[in-house]
Structure 1
Amino acid sequence: MEEGAAASMTVGEKRVAVDVPTDAAAAANGHGPEEKAAEDVPAPSALSGWPRTTGMYLFVMNIRSVFKLDELGSEVLRIAVPASLALAADPLASLVDTAFIGRLGSVEIAAVGVSIAIFNQVSKVCIYPLVSVTTSFVAEEDAIISKYLEENNSKDLEKAAHVHSDACNVPASGGDTPVCANSCIPTECADLSNQGCKRRYIPSVTSALIVGSFLGLVQAVFLIFSAKVVLGIMGVKHDSPMLEPAVRYLTIRSLGAPAVLLSLAMQGVFRGFKDTKTPLYATVVGDATNIILDPILMFVCHMGVTGAAVAHVISQ
């Protein structure tokens, strides 16, 4: 019994001797029960609603990734920069146009200002829905058609290669040696290589052009026959000296409404194809034409406000 007790005590002492250093090491490393409980508490920055994980902090910390010129960033810049320049070109051209009209007198520039405001307000009813809907529809249909062509491209190439190999095994007349007869390739398979070069038909493009032209005609007819009424609603009285030049400018300017909406529909189409350079070039050419024709028609041809309206319609 004494030997057994001594053995158990020896075992116990060994166990204690093993456990004590473990507790001491845990205390030395700061991982005791209290420290472990403290570790289980989440850091303040991990709590929901903490300002370091939301708002301006995330913007500042991720600013480099936002402006990183990777493949996606380069594509965004390629689309956004020409679109921004096209939007900036119209106000600059309007400033030059206003400077020329201001030389005619205060009555003329006031009349033109009211007419432009009316024209723009009526146009905005159709511009934004037309452009946004056209862009989204064209982009969607273009993506669907591109995906369909990519899926069928491999099948068409395999079919063309199979027909070509069969044609090369045609024996020559009077002998058994196979001759590659390119003229024997069927037309339907020979045309497979030209499918990628054919222009794709996208129904939304045609629909956008038709709708844009129709809305432009409706806007032109409305403004031409209701010019005096709309100007009266805007505060231009029937005995005001502004009425006559305002009616003349608004009537002539309304003739270009179909061209305006048609060009905007085309801009939406090109944006759907991720092409914003072509609308930029068209906008710059139109604004430059307006700036060149303004002084010629207004001062050289002595057409005044009418010349400004005609120059604007021609540029559109």
Structure 2
Amino acid sequence: MTQAPARRTASLRRHDREIVALAVPAFGALVAEPLFVMTDSAIVGHLGTAQLAGLGVASALLTTAVSVFVFLAYATTAAVARRVGAGDLQAAIRQGMDGIWLALLLGMAVITVVLPTAPALVELFGASRTAAPYATTYLRISSLGIPAMLVVLAATGVLRGLQDTRTPLYVSVTGFVANALLNAGLVYGAGLGIAGSAWGTVMAQCGMAAVYLAVVVRGARRHKASLRPDAAGIRASAQAGVPLLIRTLSLRAILMIATAVAARLGDADIAAHQIILSLWSLLAFALDAIAIAGQAIIGRYLGAADVEGAKGACRRMVQWGTAVGFCLGILVVLSRPLFLSLFTSDIAVKDAALPALLVVALSQPICGIVYVLDGVLMGAGDGPYLAGAMLITLAVFTPAALLVPVLGGGLTLLWAAMALMMTVRMLTLWLRSRSGRWIVTGATR
């Protein structure tokens, strides 16, 4: 009678160790990523307002372009983890190389589009006449680093699939430091201005990609995996990424609609919205770290045909997501006045943000469940369902958000619509997890 509880306790502890070992380094790597933009902004900001405005426009374009291809990390993590679970490390690394080759091809395609159209893209994003030349310069130079950025995404997915989130943490932190030093030296030491900032970022990204490639190549040689591009493998990686691309684009559309609605509410509301959105993104890093652990762990269990292990890990990660969500929600409630004071002294902005932040706080446990189940289904390779679920969420959110100005609920009602969006996502993901249809074992789905 006492053996069953003891086994359950041991199983929970094993899952906890796995989650912590993968999630904590993943969180550090995720936090390091936005520091690149913050460093560039701090250094370029001292050059002048026009330069900083130009950087803002160019960075928004680059961030959008790269985030669209985040499926390179997600799909690669799941595919590699399955093969690790099946005990075939050679095939796992070979699968990872297919993702890296796809990243290189996509990166070169993006360059061919961005270089000639940079002025038009900058104008489309509404850059002023004084800021546009700086934005175009930064965008054109930085676009040369997009292949490296996409390789970093794919290679990060390879290492996560291999159950290694420490190496991405070390590379991200080193890349951040190198980026800061290169930017400062080229912008001020070499006198290159905003172009120096762009070149510094390109060099840092290329350096990160080179380190990742060295790690993957070393693993390939150890396990005698081919490094040559394989058309069938690259095509399979692209096909696996399409549903996740649809999911990502749908999520980006939701965020864009929310920002557009906030802009219609007035200057104070859009300012408050941007502050809240920055906090929401920061909270997402903590929850996404658990999701990343979920991708790697679930993929490995399913590759090993360990159905009970996959179910147990899923249940435990949902508990983690819920608990972390509750803690984050309490933290938001307690820190609201201090947090807002860091960004603004405008009373109107604070008045608009305070009640909306309560909605954000209350929705954090829901967000925790959403991120975890999203990671579980990604790890299972259930991309088509994730794409369909996100399209349903977009269809529910859009009319709800567009009704906010009509109903006169202000920013609080808009973030209530965001909470509704997360609730719809939670329901669709929970129903899928309960159905068990995501459980497909074997080295490939």
Assess same fold via TM > 0.5.
Answer: yes
Shift of 1:93: 3.7
CA distance in 1 between counterparts of 2:130 and 2:150 reads 31
Matched, 1:135 2:25: no
> Are the equivalent residues in 2 in contact too, given 1:236–1:242 (CA < 8 A)?
yes
Q: CA–CA distance in 2 between the matches of 1:280 and 1:220?
A: 27
Deviation of 1:274 (Å):
0.9
Q: 1:69 to 1:141 in 2, by over 3 A?
A: closer
- 8 Å contact 1:213–1:259 — kept in the other structure? yes
CA contact (8 A) 1:119 1:254 kept: yes
The separation in 2 between residues aligned to 1:234 and 1:110, in whole angstroms, is 11
Match of 1:113 in 2: 56
Give the distance between the partners of 1:247 and 1:296, measured in 2 at CA. Answer: 21
In 2: Cα distance, 1:267 partner to 1:141 partner: 16
Match status 1:224 vs 2:224: no
Residue of structure 1 in register with 2:208 after alignment = none
Which runs of no fewer than 5 residues in structure 2 stay unpaired? 1-7, 206-445
Inter-partner Cα distance in structure 2 for 1:288 and 1:82: 17
Secondary structure of 1:226 counterpart = helix
Specify which of 101, 121, 137 is matched with residue 44 of structure 2. Answer: 101
- Which amino acid in 1 is paired with 2:39? V
1:176-202, Cα deviation, whole Å (9 max, x unpaired): xxxxxxxxxxxxxxxxxxxxxxx7243
CA shift, 1:263, in A, is 0.9
2:66 equivalent in structure 1: 123
Pairs within 5 Å for 1:147-162: none
Q: Does 1:200 align with 2:90?
A: yes
Structure with bigger helix share is: 2
Aligned residue identity for 2:96: V
**Whole-Å separation in 1 of the counterparts to 2:40 and 2:118:** 22
Once residues 125 and 95 of structure 1 are traced to their aligned partners in structure 2, the CA distance between those partners, rounded to angstroms, is 20
State how far apart, in whole Å, the 2-side matches of 1:122 and 1:299 are.
28
Which residue is equivalent to 2:174? 285
Q: Distance in 2 between the 1:83 and 1:130 partners?
A: 16
SS of equivalent to 1:311: helix
Counterpart code for 2:80: V
Contact 1:123 1:219 (C-alpha < 8 Å) held by counterparts: no
State whether structure 2 residue 252 is matched by structure 1 residue 309.
no
Aligned-residue offset at 1:88: 0.8
Q: Distance in 2 between matches of 1:91 and 1:235?
A: 23
Indicate which of 82, 86, 90 corresponds to 1:144.
86
Q: Is the 8 A contact 2:37 2:59 kept in 1?
A: no
CA distance in 1: counterparts of 2:187 and 2:33, whole angstroms: 20
- Which of 149, 155, 161 aligns to 1:260? It is 149
Amino acid at match of 1:206: M
Partner of 1:272: 161
Residues 83 and 91 in structure 2, CA contact (< 8 A), matched pair in contact too: no
- Aligned CA distance change for structure 1 residues 288 and 117 (closer, same or farther; 3 Å): same
Q: CA deviation at 1:217?
A: 0.7
Residues 302, 205 of structure 1: CA spacing in aligned structure 2 closer, same or farther, 3 A cutoff?
same
Aligned mates of 1:315, 1:262 — CA distance in 2: 13
Aligned with 2:86: secondary structure?
Answer: helix
Using the size of structure 1 for normalisation, the TM-score is 0.59
**2:90 aligned partner, one-letter code:** R
Q: Which runs of no fewer than 5 residues in structure 1 stay unpaired?
A: 1-64, 147-198
Measured on the aligned residues, the alpha-carbon RMSD in Å equals 1.9
- Counterpart secondary structure, 2:164: coil
Residue 214 (str. 1) matches residue 105 (str. 2) = yes
* CA positional deviation for 1:69: 7.5
Q: Is it true that 1:249 corresponds to 2:157 in the alignment?
A: no
Cα distance in 2, alignment partners of residues 220 and 136 from structure 1:
28
Amino acid at match of 1:275: D
Superposed CA deviations along residues 202-226 of structure 1, whole A, max 9, x for unmatched, are: 3311210110111111111211111
d(CA) in 2 for partners of 1:91, 1:262:
18
Q: Which secondary structure does the structure 1 equivalent of 2:68 belong to?
A: helix
Cα shift at 1:268:
0.3
CA distance in 1, matches of 2:125, 2:25: 36
| Partner secondary structure for residue 296 of structure 1 | helix
CA–CA separation in structure 1 for the residues paired with 2:68 and 2:125: 17
Per-residue CA deviation, residues 91-143 of structure 1 (Å, 9 max, x unaligned), is 2343232111110000000000100001111112212x211111111111221
Post-superposition offset of 1:245:
1.0
Residues in 2 aligned to 1:258 and 1:92: alpha-carbon distance in whole angstroms = 20
User: How far is the alpha carbon of 1:300 from its aligned partner?
Assistant: 1.1
